[in-house]
A and B are shown apart, each in its own frame.
Chain A
Amino acid sequence: EVKLVESGGGLVQPGRSLKLSCAASGFSFNDYWMGWVRQAPGKGLEWIGEINQDSSTINYTPSLKDKFTISRDNAQNTLYLQMSKLGSEDTAIYYCARGGGFFDYWGQGVMVTVSS
């Protein structure tokens, strides 16, 4: 069974950094692109970015490219999202998902709240 479990969310002060993790199981992690999507409260889905199997290609949505960094550790079957200079606009549920292009499996999401 494919499982994606996000962790690392919580309450963070404006201007601070936070790193999310996504633990993958039930499939060969190093064979797949992976990605991150977020959803602000009551809003739609926002594509953050994606990373290929060997981390040689990483794509971001332009508005987040200077704040967010996607990485992965294939030995640990884990995907990461490093977020910096967080603001209230970054308050959202963050989902990791499997796939490049289309996402066929999604994690349950982790909430990040940016507030003083």
Chain B
Amino acid sequence: DIQMTQSPASLSASLEEIVTITCQASQDIGNWLAWYQQKPGKSPQLLIYGATSLADGVPSRFSGSRSGTQYSLKISRLQVEDIGIYYCQQASSAPNTFGAGTKLELK
């Protein structure tokens, strides 16, 4: 199985701050990487797919990038509504494993 190592596990940031979350794949997954946001008590929501493509309706302050087998999610100016847990997921080969998650809190 492909392992997805996500960091940090938790993150405290201020409003308007730039936030970056990373995922390291244990092997080449190409652009088969997605990011999800989960708010408390809610279902996950797709943010980014194909490593860099923004899902419908997602604010442009979210962006995804790739460098080899390392993937990053960037929030350019943190807003209150961005608080939650973020997960990466590889979809290169089954099982399509998720990262362990990053809990984003307001400082």
Among the stretches A10-18, A45-53, A74-82, A83-91, the one at the interface with B is: A45-53
User: What 1/0 mask marks residues of chain A from 92 to 116 whose CB sits below 8 Å from any chain B CB?
Assistant: 0001000011111111110000000
Interface of B is mostly: loop
Closest to B46 in A: A104
Q: Contacting B87 at CB < 8 Å: which of A44, A100, A101, A109?
A: A44
> Which chain B residues lie closer than 8 Å to A103 at the CB level?
34, 36, 44, 46
Q: Find out whether the CB atom of B101 lies under 8 angstroms from the CB atom of A102.
A: no
A95 to B87, CA, bound (A): 15
The minimal Cβ–Cβ distance linking B31 to chain A, given in whole angstroms, is 11
Among the stretches B17-25, B74-82, B92-100, the one at the interface with A is: B92-100
Say if the beta carbon of B55 comes within 8 Å of chain A: yes
Q: Contacting A59 at CB < 8 Å: which of B55, B87, B95?
A: B95
| Chain B contact residues, CB within 8 Å of chain A | 1, 32, 34, 36, 38, 43-46, 49-50, 55-56, 85, 87, 89, 91, 94-101
> Which chain B residues lie closer than 8 Å to A44 at the CB level?
85, 87, 98-101
A100 to B95, CA, bound (A): 11
Closest to A57 in B: B94
Closest to B95 in A: A61
Q: Find out whether the CB atom of B96 lies under 8 angstroms from the CB atom of A95.
A: no
The minimal Cβ–Cβ distance linking A48 to chain B, given in whole angstroms, is 9
User: What 1/0 mask marks residues of chain A from 12 to 40 whose CB sits below 8 Å from any chain B CB?
Assistant: 00000000000000000000000001000
A109 to B44, CA, bound (A): 10
Q: Contacting A50 at CB < 8 Å: which of B49, B94, B101?
A: B94
Q: Find out whether the CB atom of A104 lies under 8 angstroms from the CB atom of B91.
A: no
With A44-B87, A45-B87, A101-B32: A95-B97 Cβ-Cβ less than 8 Å: no
